[in-house]
Structure 1
Amino acid sequence: MIETEIFGTLPNGLLAHAYTLIEKNTRVTISDFGATILSIKTPDVRGDVQDIVLGFDTLADYAGANPACYGATIGPVANRSDKAEIVLEGVAYTLPKNDGPSQENNLHTSLTEGLHKRLWKAEVDHEHNTVTLSCTLLDGEYGLPGDRNFSARFELVSRDGGGSDNLAGVTCLAGASTCGNADSITDLDGGCQQLRVTYICTTSKPTFVNMTNHSYFNLAGHASGSVLDHEVCIHACSYLPIRKDNVSEGTVEPVKNTPFDFREAKALGENIHDENEQLRRANGYDHCFAVDGYTSPDASDVAGVAHTAAAETAEKTNQPRSALLARDPKSGRRLHITISAPGAHLYTGNWLNDTSAKDCASYAQRAGFAFEPEFYPDCSHHQSWPQPLCTPEHPYIATIVYTFSHDSHVLQL
């Protein structure tokens, strides 16, 4: 079931809408402004329904500064790019300079005019409980080549059946051989609701696309304060250290014996105040993790076919894998995130400070955490890393699946 309402009017007179996808006792609201996730309302173990993503009440707040990028679809280039530069097939392209001590780097393409600041065209599919949003960029916009067609598909479904999702006291390695042997969590999502987000870009010329969603989660409820007690497991044996300006150093390092080791479930706050140079540079976690199990799709699988068919083929060959499992010990709510991208960026709301959030709430530091699936930040300067090259023959496609569940009973931790 999908409900549609007017979200507000933009300065140019165009109307923005809010689309609420309903599946059993879960409600997800999406706006065509910025392909933004406005709210996710889901029950806890007692049946108490709360909104678990941070955000605002009004369109004006999202269309305004919104430096935290609450709920935003980020693109065409997410995260930080050194010298605001993208290297594509040996040619350097310049993005807007908007980040770093001297404003020499780029963050999220454009914080004022990126895809999250545009009004997308909406198509509602009631039969499949899906909203598909689309927008276009012309050749040269944001300094990148190609006439580009973007789509963001949001689908809310139930996954029925039994399953074990016991986070407390378990080892939750993904089972990658590089990490050693450990018990895997399997069949995590029985009897749950899933929000499946699919980003696709087709282009007239080879171009660079690295999209993500920037929702912040607080599984106790968006206005519940710090998330440092959330138990988190990340299926990653490696992470990407950052320089003092928060751009990737250019190395991928093991998490073992560092505060970045979330291979076994632990509280977000367990090591966040450790004496560690990487944590000092970011004022907490603001780092990309190399999620285990990534396999680069074979371009030959989609070459030589029409754009739509190529995108469908790419989606089938780029299935998401487990990246993160989080649990709030107070409410028993759980979040399982699976992704198709090589990595995902964990940000623990280190600089949040919003006094006029939705429902009259205020957000302080650590009020939510973001987990942003993506290709490695600044990867165009490190050609040995996976590259998000989008060509007329090989569309860009990225899938994120958010699964919402809760304990069968509240664990007393």
Structure 2
Amino acid sequence: MKHHFRNILGAATLGILLYSCDNKPKQETEEPAQEQVFGKTYQNKNVETYEIKNANGIKMKVTNFGARVTHLWVPDKDGNPVDVVLGFETLDEYLKSSEKYFGAAIGRYGNRIANGKFTLDGEEYTLPQNNNGQTLHGGPGGMDYVIWDVEKSGENALIFTYTSPDGEEGFPGELKVKMVYSLTDDNEFKVTYEAETDKATPVNLTHHSFFNLSGAGNGNVLDHTLKLNASNYTPVNDVLIPTGKIESVKGTPFDFTTATQIGERIDQENEQLKFGGGYDHNWVLDKSGSELTQAAVISSPQTGIEMEVWTTEPAIQFYSGNFLDGTIKGKGSKVYELRSAFCLETQHYPDSPNQPNFPSTILEPGDKYEQTCIYKFGTK
């Protein structure tokens, strides 16, 4: 990171609109409230938003519906705040959208599980199939679609907790999850995860913000330059389930070991690109343990905003927004066109419960699941 940020957003909090599920303004206030009613879910639980900020002008809004990041403002190379995540202004839009993962916490199992089935300790478990016959991101009732309990911790952090009951979305065991979102004065959006279970169960939690470092809704991300610290990836079949192989990226469009524009090779004739409609694959990071290491660096030539991704996980999913198609209008009525965002989801490998040669994702009773993911911002 080449420049330090200055506090350019100021301390004033703008007026807040309170929304019901029909999206009609109910009340306006000039009070500097940090929480606001966002709507009511179909579960008839209040959905609220929370605001946190750091000392350098980075500010974030988050809702307890799926622990979603709805806004994330970071300064560009000229010091102007840019909202770099896709999303909506109201709950109703999140509920109706064809893209349900904007900004969400993902669990119990990020990415795909083949055929919605796995066997653990001799027992077969069946999960809801919600993606071409596979289970994606924990199923349709995953952690992106629940109401989390939230506690503020100062001006710069939120503590999320959720207890997933035994059998939720077909997974065994009661799983207690704690996540902390914080904006550090090192310009990091930091996510820490903890989880415990009373029965052996797969766990693979991740974060699913759709980023555009040129600004949400400001064109595609094909001009973004990406470096991945990964010499290998896991190729997939035509429904995006790993084949079980771990292959070198050398000589393929998947080689981002040196900084390369996302759009440079995305339309090459390649079976793996065809299966994903672009990039939607798991890269195996160049690391051997669970130490916190840099996984990726990505930047926009338009704003000069650069983002580093750090993780304790062994892998990262890079998704190039291939299923955004121009039919979704987001914040400010901006259209989210094809490849107008990227995702960098730190994780264990997809379908690990069915792939014995992949690192295990099974959490046992008495053990604690712990993971850290950091998105660090600067300019270049």
Aligned residue identity for 1:398: Q
Q: Is the 8 A contact 1:388 1:396 kept in 2?
A: no
Matched, 1:251 2:245: yes
* TM-score, normalised relative to structure 1: 0.81
Matched, 1:27 2:59: yes
Matched, 1:91 2:123: yes
Partner of 1:309: none
Aligned partner (choices 381, 386, 390) of residue 363 of structure 2: 390
Deviations 1:343-374 (A, max 9, x none): 11111010103432111111011000011111
Partner of 2:265: 271
What is the CA–CA distance in structure 1 between the aligned matches of 2:300 and 2:292, rounded to whole Å?
A: 24
SS in structure 2 of the partner of residue 150 of structure 1: strand
What is the CA–CA distance in structure 1 between the aligned matches of 2:291 and 2:38, rounded to whole Å?
A: 33
What is the CA–CA distance in structure 2 between the aligned matches of 1:59 and 1:347, rounded to whole Å?
A: 24
Matched, 1:9 2:40: yes
Decide whether aligned partners of structure 1 residues 95 and 405 sit closer, same or farther in structure 2, where only a CA change above 3 A counts.
same
**Cα offset for 1:239?**
0.5
Partner of 1:135: 162
**Cα offset for 1:382?**
1.5
Q: Is the 8 A contact 2:97 2:328 kept in 1?
A: no
**Cα offset for 1:219?**
0.3
Equivalent residues in 2 for 1:344-359 (5 A)? 344-353=316-325, 354-359=327-332
Aligned residue identity for 1:57: E
SS in structure 2 of the partner of residue 402 of structure 1: strand
What is the CA–CA distance in structure 1 between the aligned matches of 2:97 and 2:117, rounded to whole Å?
A: 24
Matched, 1:380 2:353: yes
Partner of 2:172: 145
Deviations 1:194-227 (A, max 9, x none): 0110122111111111111111110010111110
Deviations 1:214-271 (A, max 9, x none): 1111001011111000000000000011101111111110000000000000100011
Equivalent residues in 2 for 1:13-412 (5 A)? 13-23=44-54, 24-100=56-132, 103=133, 105-111=134-140, 113-126=141-154, 129-159=156-186, 193-295=187-289, 318-353=290-325, 354-407=327-380
Deviations 1:78-133 (A, max 9, x none): 11111111232343311112222xx3x2111223x211111111111116x21011
Q: Is the 8 A contact 1:217 1:370 kept in 2?
A: yes
SS in structure 1 of the partner of residue 169 of structure 2: helix
Deviations 1:299-341 (A, max 9, x none): xxxxxxxxxxxxxxxxxxx442110100101111000000111
Percent identity reads 33
Decide whether aligned partners of structure 1 residues 336 and 396 sit closer, same or farther in structure 2, where only a CA change above 3 A counts.
same
What is the CA–CA distance in structure 1 between the aligned matches of 2:310 and 2:58, rounded to whole Å?
A: 19
Aligned residue identity for 2:238: K
Q: Is the 8 A contact 1:294 1:341 kept in 2?
A: no
Aligned residue identity for 2:159: T
What is the CA–CA distance in structure 2 between the aligned matches of 1:82 and 1:13, rounded to whole Å?
A: 33
SS in structure 2 of the partner of residue 158 of structure 1: coil
* TM-score, normalised relative to structure 2: 0.88
Q: Which runs of 5+ in 2 are unaligned?
A: 1-10, 12-32
